[in-house]
Amino acid sequence: MGTPERRPAEECRCEKVTVSFRNTGGAPVRSGTVTFGTHVIGALGVDWATVESTERLPAPIAPGIREEKT
C-alpha cells in the first residue's frame, strides 16, 4: 500500500483519498479488502469517534503491477 493522496471533495469537510496498491508477490491478487479508520474531530479538536469503512481492492492486480483507487 502506498502513501494516501488527499484532495478536497465536493461536500463540505470531506476529502477524496487515493491509495496505491502494489502486488509484490508472484501470483495475481484476485480479491481482497482494505479497512479505513476515519476520525471524527470536533470543533475544539477532540477526537469523538473513529468510523471504520471497508472497500474492495481494485482486483485483479497482476504481479509487479500497481493499481490506484479513490
Q: Tell me the mean pLDDT per 10 residues along the chain, length 70.
A: 85 86 92 89 90 91 88
Q: What is residue 49's predicted lDDT score, i.e. its pLDDT?
A: 94
Q: Is the pTM of this model over 0.85?
A: no
Closest CA to 34 of 49, 50, 21: 21
Q: Say which residues have a Cβ less than 8 Å from residue 56's Cβ, sequence separation at least 6.
A: 31, 32, 33
Domain ranges of the chain: 5-69
